[in-house]
Amino acid sequence: MPTGQRLKVLRSVRNITVREVEQASRRIAEVKGDKRFRISNGWLAQLEKGISEPSICKLFSLSVIYHVKFFDLIRLYDVDIDETEKYEPIASPHLTQLLSAESREKSGPVRVPQILARSLAARGTSLIPEKMRMVHETSSAPADDGAALITYGYVGLNDLTMYPLIWPGSFVWVDVTQNKLQPIAWHNEYERPIYFIELRDGYACGWCELQGNQLLIIPHHSSPATIRRFTYPKDAEIVGRVTGFETRCVGRDLDESRPSKPAKQSKAKTIGG
């Protein structure tokens, strides 16, 4: 049913005429001291025919008059405030972002969010919102002891920190219970702990080293990315440890995001992960 007809149904349920709606909205506008809350009977008729769309002020008046929650009226126009997190990776695809935090008690197939899967040309790394719809049935979460809390992250196409171990455009599993750097013994790059980090202006994914109050994000030795330093925990906090990832091995977009000349990166001795 068209949105205009749905509004007409709401008015019919209240058993009021367009003239009565106009009178009620006039009273609201007078109290508000703002004529934008006033609804004329002619404008309401156009609204119910689908010719016009309401402003936020007029929609507020209708919600009061029809005894319907304001956010329910907004949903009639395909606007759902519960979807704000879902669209953050789409609005800012160039950023590294966190995707969703879910308890491993709900363990099962981990699936790439459909709305983000359609936007894999995104340029940033992100966390997936909890309410985002999942697809890719073939993916599965890494096994654990049941005590971990897993959040899912997306490594954007601009993020070459862990390339080629973790390609840009990959999805990672983040254990948020491991949000401190631990002195873990590792013997090669596959055993070295990888962390997901929240920054002031976004997120990052990489090896980490803590030197006093300085958190170093260490890129893969084959990556053109450089070591980044942040004041810890003021400007950077550990979201958790990456316990698994779903990565690509080929992709046209990588050539566009790779710097023309690899930047020199400083050597750093790893301390505790």
End-to-end CA gap in the chain: 57
Amino acid 2 reads: P
Helix (H) / strand (E) containing 254: helix 253-257
Q: Assess whether 184 and 242 both reside in one domain.
A: yes
Nearest to 16 by CA among 52, 66, 59: 66
CA–CA separation, 74 and 138 (whole Å):
36
The pLDDT tens digits of the residues spanning 180-193 come to: 998 888 999 999 99
Residue 100 in tokens: 């969703």
Q: Assess whether 52 and 94 both reside in one domain.
A: no
The pLDDT tens digits of the residues spanning 187-232 come to: 999 999 999 999 988 899 999 999 999 999 999 999 999 999 999 9
Mean pLDDT (the chain, rounded): 77
Per-residue burial over 215-241, b if 16 or more Cβ lie within 10 Å, else e, is: bbbbbbeebbbebbebebeeebebbbb
DSSP output for 37-92? G---HHHHHHHHTTS----HHHHHHHHHHHT--HHHHHHTTT--GGGHHHHHHHHS
CA–CA separation, 76 and 74 (whole Å):
5
Nearest to 93 by CA among 159, 152, 161: 159
Residue 220 lies in a domain: yes
Average pLDDT on 68-85 reads: 86
Q: Assess whether 119 and 239 both reside in one domain.
A: yes
Domain CATH code at residue 114: 2.10.109.10
Q: Assess whether 175 and 161 both reside in one domain.
A: yes
Nearest to 204 by CA among 242, 234, 177, 175: 242
Residue 130 lies in a domain: yes
Strand extents, DSSP E, 104-169: 125-127, 149-154
Q: Assess whether 16 and 123 both reside in one domain.
A: no
Residue 271 lies in a domain: no
Q: Assess whether 73 and 156 both reside in one domain.
A: no
The pLDDT, as a whole number, for residue 84 is: 77
Q: Assess whether 174 and 89 both reside in one domain.
A: yes
Percent of the chain whose predicted confidence (pLDDT) is above 70: 69
Residue 74 lies in a domain: yes
Q: Assess whether 103 and 226 both reside in one domain.
A: yes
The pLDDT, as a whole number, for residue 148 is: 61
Helices 56-66/3-14 angle, 10° precision:
40
Q: Residue 69 — very low, low, confident or very high, per pLDDT cuts 50/70/90?
A: very high
Q: Assess whether 165 and 244 both reside in one domain.
A: yes
Q: Assess whether 191 and 94 both reside in one domain.
A: yes
The whole domain housing 73 covers 3-79
